[in-house]
Amino acid sequence: MVSSFAYATPSVHAQFTTVTTVSCNPIIIGPGTGLGRSTVCTATVTSSSDSSPTGFVDFSFQGSPGTFLLGDSCELGPIMGSLPNQASCSVTWTAFPRPGQPASAVIMTAQYRGDVCCEPSSGSTVILVLSGPETTTTIVVCGASKLHDHKSTGCRATVSNDFPVPPPFSLPPTGTVSWERGLPATFPMGSPCGSFTPPSCLPHQQMPIQQAAPPLSRLWLGNLPWLQ
């Protein structure tokens, strides 16, 4: 008696690929911003399939000290009005800025665990944490130190941050510079220099005859996150 058996080989389907992106709002936080020390970070997972991925996303960070408000993981859910193959979830992160370190960059990473049909993937973004207003230095340079009556000279104020802002952020000072004179003189273009980029502006100061140009008092009005 001969017996025969047939075995069915289970089919193995490759998982669909996924792409995970991270966005945080606001992207710049800390006491120096006026926006508080917390940010909401959202992970969006896109699948190569026709259906949305499911499962959990784990968040981690590197850089300035901080903590997650209600845990460092979240469960994916549908996105209203988005593509059918996308899902997202969010966590709240609070920074603990280091004293003496005006600005620091934090790398926020989201790791999607994957599910039965979708592969794991990860993505990251960068947050800027400001421990306080950026201090600045203002330098004034005038074209002449002595002037004849009814003559004028150009004086340029250049404002720069005292501490570098870590990449990829660029926060040059913006706002208004107000000028004061030590002797009778006029500013034909007005005292304040309006918003400027790059951080310098150029008013004109008129001096009395044969009088040495008085030292200009530098008043940097500035704007958050800068101090004069």
Q: Where are the domains of the chain?
A: 18-130, 134-227
pLDDT computed for residue 195 by the predictor:
44
The answer to whether residues 48 and 18 touch, using CB atoms and an 8 Å cutoff, is yes
- Asked if domains 18-130 and 134-227 share a fold, the reply is yes
d(CA 95, CA 117): 36
pLDDT at 99 over 60: yes
Provide the CATH number for the domain formed by 18-130 in this structure.
2.60.40.10
Q: Average the pLDDT over 146-163 and give the result.
A: 76
pLDDT computed for residue 174 by the predictor:
79
pLDDT computed for residue 202 by the predictor:
47
Mean pLDDT of the chain: 77
pLDDT at 172 over 90: no
d(CA 197, CA 193): 11
The answer to whether residues 147 and 213 touch, using CB atoms and an 8 Å cutoff, is yes
Which CATH number applies to 134-227: 2.30.30, 2.40.10, 3.30.310, 2.60.40?
2.60.40
With 0.75 as the threshold, say if the pTM is over it. no
What is the percent of the chain with per-residue pLDDT over 90, rounded to a whole number?
39
pLDDT at 17 over 80: yes
C-alpha torsion 144→146→150→154, nearest 10: 20
**Predicted confidence band of residue 215 (pLDDT cuts 50, 70, 90):** very low
